Amino acid sequence: MTNDLTDNLFSLIKSLSPSEKRQFSLYVGRIGVNTDSKFLNLFKVMTKLKKYNEKEILLKTKISKQQLSNVKAHLYKQILISLRLNPAHQSIPVQIREQFDFAYILYRKGLYKQSLKLLDKIKTQALEYEEKNLAYEILELEKIIESQYITRSIENRAESLIQQTESLSELNLISSKLSNLSLQLYAIFLKMGYARTQEEADSIRNYFYQNLPEYKIKNIGFREKLWLYKAHLWFSFITQDFLACYRYSMKWIDLFNDQKHLVPIHPVSYLKGNHYLLESLFYLNHNNLFEKTLKNLEGMLKDAKIPDDDNIKALAFLYLYSNKLNLRFMKGAFANGDKLVEKIQKRIKKYRDRIDEHHIMVFYYKIACLYFGDGDNKKCIEFLNKIINNKSLEMREDLMCFARILSLVAHYEAGLDYHLDRLVKSTYKFLIKMNDLHEVQKQMIIFLRNLPEISPLEIKDEFRKLHAKLKEYENHPYERRAFLYLDIISWLESKIQNRPVADVIAEKVALVGR
């Protein structure tokens, strides 16, 4: 067994809850395995290990080195079978798939009528729960049986099966094209973030409409609409059309509100829809609605409709705490964030194998912004360095660029300007390399580079000049993205007015709320 598979087995065992471990023990007992069996002993030993240790395993299990690979493979398979039998994992799609397997066994036994009766039942269920790929497989087996054994139970049976297959085939093709488009747009967003120029926006727009399949909204179902709204949402995010993001995230959620029975089947999509609604409200600066929606999301996570599994727990952490940070930014509530940051760091450690590096770095950037707003620039730099020093990070080029810009500002604020010139030069080179040097960033670089030559008496005038220049870009379709990451305008106003940046932002929030 390869090292990858060894890691997979160990991580699978460590992911088991106490009830799943008991289930496995009961399952092993049911299959009549001797209590001294090698794979069961291996399970007991690996359960107690904190780190994988092959020498200790060989010593305690008395399994030979030559046998170990096969025993591991067998144990991995048996754990998966046990998990499949666990009622906690018996979701509707799993149940349909199981019944389909039973129908296939009946077919192979020559019990055609029994098989067809079961297939017809689960086909209806598959369509009801939008499992159209499964429904298509069921239809294909029905056609195989009908081609061998004419039941004559329904008039025009062949024509009916052909019509159903063609309809499902067309819907599956539309769904496949929409899911491909959605995934590709998501990948583009992860790689570069928001469109940086009109040229990039036009390129994304052309790609989107060239790959958008033809459809009639009245002829497509829940699944196709879900992928359609996802694709539109990512297109809108990349092109910074946040009002469209709001509209499509609402359409996404309304799909589930109209068909509540699908929430337990697709809980991840349901939660994602609510998360992107919050993201849209954040960028639209709708504070009250954002706070209300966030409370609703917290309530949803306690709903019995949402499965309480490891995947959902990791996503719940990701969505809740990311938006809790956003809420603080919206309110200008930067103080007393240590407890929140501590909770986030503990959960990052707990769910690290279930959260990708990109989302962890986004957390670090937001935490850095939180400390910057609170005036704790050294902690801000500490979290930014986690991003800047991450050599493996190949996603969100814009995030890496703005992390460096914020780092420059934080170094200045912290009085660590003795090597600011070197940092300015390295940041400038990085932005050029990333093809991400725009006017807002350029003006910031020029300002910070000239700082050592500005006398203390002139510094406020220089802040005012920079503020006037940057205000011109506040509503620019592509330059404004700089302000999505860091409220440079409020920072400059705080320097001009000799006030904490948190007070400036809080005052703006209060004015918006009036």
DSSP string, 78-134: HHHHHHHHSGGG--HHHHHHHHHHHHHHHHHTT-HHHHHHHHHHHHHHHHHTT-HHH
- Please give the pLDDT value at position 307: 82
Instruction: Report the alpha-carbon distance of residue 278 to residue 292 in Å, rounded.
Output: 10
Pairwise CA distance, residues 129 & 189, whole Å: 30
Q: Considering only CA atoms, which of 177, 151, 241, 132 is closest in space to residue 477?
A: 241
- Say how far apart CA 199 and CA 342 lie, in whole Å: 42
Query: What pTM was estimated for this model as a whole?
Result: 0.81
- 51 close to 14: Cβ distance less than 8 angstroms: no
Q: Specify if 278 maps to a domain.
A: no
> What's the CA gap between 402 and 357, in Å, rounded?
17
Q: Is 335 a domain residue?
A: no
Give the model's pLDDT for residue 50.
Answer: 85
Residue in the block written with tokens 């009908």: 146
Residue 198 is assigned to a structural domain of this protein: no
Find all residues with CB under 8 Å of 196, minimum gap 6, and list them. 398, 435, 436, 438, 478, 481
114 lies in the same domain as 14: no
Q: Does 365 fall in a domain? A: no
Residues 436, 397 contacting (CB under 8 angstroms): yes
CA angle 195, 222, 179 (to 5 degrees): 40
Query: 193: closest CA among 388, 361, 408, 428?
Result: 361
CA distance 459 to 466: 11
| Average pLDDT, 10 consecutive residues per value, the chain (514 residues) | 64 87 84 72 88 85 86 91 76 90 92 92 94 94 83 69 92 95 90 81 94 94 96 93 95 95 91 95 90 93 84 92 92 90 94 86 92 92 90 67 84 78 77 69 78 76 85 76 71 86 79 58
Tokens coding 288: 């009250």
Are residues 430 and 489 both part of a single domain? yes
Name which of 314, 311, 244, 251 is nearest 280 in CA terms: 244
* Whether residue 492 sits in one domain with residue 413: yes
Domain boundary among 89, 118, 136: 89
Dihedral sign computed on CA atoms, order 67, 69, 70, 73: positive
Instruction: Report pLDDT for 212.
Output: 96
Same domain? For 130 and 85 the reply is no
Q: Are 454 and 497 within one domain?
A: yes
Q: Answer whether 24's CB lies under 8 Å from 43's CB.
A: yes
* pLDDT score for 514: 47
Do the Cβ atoms of 38 and 67 come closer than 8 Å? yes
Same domain, 412 and 462: yes
User: Is 284 a domain residue?
Assistant: no
Domain that holds residue 115: 110-153
Residue 464, in any domain of the structure:
yes
Residue 64 and residue 149 in one domain: no
Same domain, 77 and 33: yes
Examine the domain organization and report whether 129 and 55 are in the same domain.
Answer: no
Q: How many domains does the chain have?
A: 3
Q: Residue for token digits 């809420």?
A: 327
Token pair, residue 416, equals 């660590």
- Same domain, yes or no: 18 and 128: no
Instruction: Specify whether 13 is located in the same domain as 127.
Output: no
The residues, ordered by sequence, that sit 6+ positions from 172 with a Cβ below 8 Å of its Cβ are 132, 133, 136
Residue 235 in any domain: the answer is no
Q: How many helices (H) and strands (E) does the chain have?
A: 25, 0
Q: What is the pLDDT of residue 432?
A: 73
Decide if 329 is inside a domain: no
Q: Say yes or no: 427 and 482 in one domain.
A: yes
Instruction: Return the SS3 of 383.
Output: helix
Helix (H) / strand (E) containing 68: helix 65-85
